[in-house]
Amino acid sequence: MAEEHKHEESAAESIIEKIAEKIRGYDDGSSSSSDSDDEKKASLSSLKAKIYRLFGRENPVHNVLGGGKPADIVLWRNKKVSGGVLGAATAAWVLFELLEYHLLSLVCHSSILALAVLFLWSNASTFIHKTPPRIPEVHIPEEHVLQLASGLRTEINRGFAALRDIASGRDLKKFLMVIAGLWVLSILGSCCNFVTLFYIATVLLFTIPVLYEKYEDKVDAFGEKAMKEIKKQYEVLDEKVLSKIMSKIPRGALSKKKD
């Protein structure tokens, strides 16, 4: 009996030791897997840091466009609304540009038609014993107007600050970029009127972001090559032309005035 009891105790101890070894092995495996997960995350983050994105973009295109419903409309997440907005812009361009219809005439004629239909319907409903039309109460909420005004004010102040920074002569590269952009806009303005220019901007807004989101890897790779080439050309221009021009500008008088 004593031998059987000892045999049972040794068997129980061996089982406990096996279970402990399995638990230790599991802990070691989990720690190694956690270490490997950390290494994978670190490698992914380093790879993301090495990938070139246009204009130094770090967030997805949806977040860059502000997120929410406006970004969904621009990126065609809601195809019915996006198609409706683009269709309305196309109809407006056809009316105002191709048919040479005027905005004030369109607003007045639409108002006349709507008021005439509602007026006749309201008076005819008493004779034909039907319910009159339900005309909804339209009012503009103050909160949305204040949010829009606040957003516009912030963006306008940023624009003024950027223009002031450029006019101060601190960044020659930014100055040349703005001058080139304004020159391109002046050429476009001379080729087409404001309605056509606004319609072209709307079409580009509804096509370029969604195409870029779809082919962003290829576009970013091409953009990286283009930016490298532009930097090389700018360095050559800076060395041969801009540095000579800046060296000829007298700075003594300006420094004395500042002192």
pLDDT for 19 beyond 70: no
Confidence of residue 84 (pLDDT cuts 50, 70, 90): very high
pLDDT tens profile 243-253: 666 666 655 44
Closest CA to 41 of 30, 33, 51: 33
- DSSP symbol at 215: S
Could you give the count of Cα atoms lying within 13 Å of 159 in the half-sphere of its Cβ? 7
Quote the pTM value: 0.55
Average pLDDT over residues 11-17: 53
pLDDT tens profile 157-214: 988 888 888 888 777 778 888 888 889 888 887 887 888 888 988 999 999 988 988 8
With contact defined as beta carbons under 8 Å apart, do 115 and 109 qualify?
no
Neighbours of 74 (CB within 10 A): 21
3-state secondary structure of 137: coil
CA 184 from centre of chain: 23
The pLDDT score that the predictor gives to residue 108 is: 92
Please give the Cα distance from 40 to 236 (Å, whole number): 42
Mean model confidence pLDDT for the chain: 75
